[in-house]
Amino acid sequence: MIAGMSPYDPSAFPPFAVTVDLVVLTVRRHSLCALIVKRGEPPFQGHWALPGGFVRDDEDLDAAAARELVEETGLCVHDPGAPQTEPGNGAHLEQLATYGAPDRDPRMRVVSVAHLALAPDLPAPRAGGDANSARWAPVEELIGQDGAAGREGEQPVPLAFDHARILADGVERARSKIEYSSLATAFCPPEFTVGELRRVYEAVWGVALDPRNFHRKVTGTPGFLVPAGGTTTRQGGRPAQLFRAGGATLLNPPMLRPEV
């Protein structure tokens, strides 16, 4: 102990719990969708919420996030930087932010470490744990394109706790990062066309993009997209060249988000 310092007394500080909440985004039917679960227990029983739960004393935050996702929805989201030991699509996973308002949870003082997960067209989730049901919901039904309201003339679907704010922060993180990074490819299968990648940008941003300008920008950065050596007609029309995400993680110059 440093001379002159008082002994540390844990009882002098109020106890609090730590949770993880998950903003899981995917593109389904050309719309940006978020995963939500209906709470089966108080507080906010019967309300929609982001998947998540309390961190156990023997696990780190990322492990807690992965466990909660499996328990409440049956979905596995893999970190693309880690070895994949189970079948399924890889995904981008990162910590989003920490939320610790004293009154955010009526049960007790709870600090939440939110995570953002992005993956290609994921299957329908299944409910489990303390969730009665789980579904994909278009983002505009939950927070709106501007992150503040639902569809024009409608009220957004109410989310429990401060999950509307967490979701809005996660959506904005995704919308801003695809301007300059390779994050948009996390919404794509391992091999994809430029047109499929463009539709990801359009779904995340909620705007239509000029196909020729988009093609020029994403193929203009060396190493951003790598030819996969094949073509596909799954989108109809003439065969389109297939690409994979390359080693370049930055899009230079960046593709600035159009103003809505």
Q: Are 56 and 103 in contact (CB under 8 A)?
A: no
* Surface-to-core class of residue 48, CB atoms within 10 Å of its CB (0-12 exposed, 13-18 middle, 19+ buried): buried
pLDDT of the residue at 134: 87
Query: Higher-confidence residue: 47 or 235?
Result: 47
Give the domain ranges of the chain. 16-176, 181-245
Architecture of the domain whose range is 181-245: Orthogonal Bundle (1.10)
Please determine, for residue 150, whether its predicted confidence score (pLDDT) is greater than 60.
Answer: no
pLDDT at 24: 93
Predicted pLDDT at 89: 45
Q: Do 16-176 and 181-245 show the same overall fold?
A: no
Q: What is the CATH number of domain 16-176?
A: 3.90.79.10
Instruction: Compute how many other C-beta atoms are within 10 angstroms of the C-beta atom of residue 184.
Output: 25
pLDDT score at 81:
43
Q: Average per-residue pLDDT in the chain?
A: 85
User: Higher model confidence: residue 98 or residue 234?
Assistant: 98
Percent of all residues in the chain with a pLDDT value above 90, rounded to a whole number? 58
Structure tokens at 205: 């941003």
Phi, psi values for residue 131, rounded to 5°: -105, 130
Q: What is the pTM of this model?
A: 0.86
Supply the pLDDT for residue 80: 46
Residue 128 has which token pair?
Answer: 């489990």
**Collapsed DSSP state (helix, strand, coil) of residue 64:** helix
pLDDT tens digits, one per residue of 64-96: 998 888 887 777 765 444 433 333 445 678 999
Q: What is the mean predicted confidence (pLDDT) over 239-254?
A: 91
Q: What's the confidence (pLDDT) of residue 90?
A: 54
Predicted pLDDT at 86: 38
Q: Residue 232's beta-bridge partner residues?
A: 240
- Report which of residues 36 and 90 the model is more confident about: 36
pLDDT range class, residue 152, cuts 50, 70, 90: very low
- For residue 234, the one-letter residue type is R
